[in-house]
Structure 1
Amino acid sequence: MNKDAIVRLVLMIGIPAFMMWREYKKMSEEERNDVKTEFTSKRFIFTGGLMVLSWVLLLLEPIFEMTWMKVISGVLFSIGMIVSSVFIWLNASSKWKAVLKIIPLLILFSIFLWANY
């Protein structure tokens, strides 16, 4: 078991999760309901949710040393990027603004593939 990977997992997942939990506890009931609604929406699950799940799988892969986790992570990240690009394209006020928003996603995707494969 890779101890460095466990420390990386705790730092990159544990600390942000604790901070989000602490802020969630400070919210009013109405704000909590808004957060629950946003996090359970199909749009969030199929865009940010898939990308975060792929990130978690990438962080878990060195701990369990299972290469299939890296492959599934790449597939989930790809699906999340494609769905995000489609939502950006469909909801943009002008297609030029949509292209300007999609270009950083494509750069992020290429960095993801370069760093992990």
Structure 2
Amino acid sequence: MNIDTGSLVTFIIMWGIPTFLVIRSYLKMDTDDKKSTLNNFKSRRFILTIGFIIIGVLFIHLDILFTNTIIKISGIGLLLIGGIFSTIATIDMWKFSKIKSLLNLILISIAVFLS
């Protein structure tokens, strides 16, 4: 299993910097905000939409790093499932805020296009 140095650097930059920033901002929160954030992350809606999309993109990037097709196929599957659930959530959100639902749909489309 050969790891390309350029792919490793790209992977560390693309995943390391956002992870560091999220952890740093979480540690700066007060206890009420931390509890609220954890409750949001544990919600079924977050896991089925954003969680599947992020894990799918992570698996696809791991495939680029390790050149393993099984990881890529599972990443595409998770990305597809997350996209389907996000589309359903966007349709439900359309009743309340049309701008947020269009923004959500555009961001999901960009994530799928880039992968």
* TM-score of the pair, normalised by structure 1: 0.82
Amino acid at match of 2:44: K
Aligned equivalents of 1:103, 1:15: Cα separation in 2: 25
> How far did 1:69 drift?
1.4
Amino acid at match of 2:80: S
**6 and 110 in structure 1: CA distance in 2 versus 1, 3 angstrom threshold:** closer
Aligned equivalents of 2:111, 2:21: Cα separation in 1: 27
**90 and 32 in structure 1: CA distance in 2 versus 1, 3 angstrom threshold:** same
> How far did 1:6 drift?
1.1
Name stretches of at least 5 consecutive residues in structure 2 with no aligned partner.
none
**Aligned residue pairs, count:** 111
Name stretches of at least 5 consecutive residues in structure 1 with no aligned partner.
none
**Structure 1 segments of 4 or more deviating over 6 A?**
none
User: Which one of the candidate residues 33, 58, 61 is aligned to 1:59?
Assistant: 61
Aligned-pair Cα RMSD in Å: 2.3
Aligned residues with identical type, % of pairs: 25
**103 and 53 in structure 1: CA distance in 2 versus 1, 3 angstrom threshold:** closer
* TM-score of the pair, normalised by structure 2: 0.83
Matched, 1:81 2:83: yes
Tell me what 1:12 maps to.
Answer: 14
1:81/1:109 contact within 8 Å kept? no
Aligned equivalents of 1:87, 1:6: Cα separation in 2: 34
Aligned equivalents of 2:113, 2:67: Cα separation in 1: 22
SS in 2 for 1:93: coil
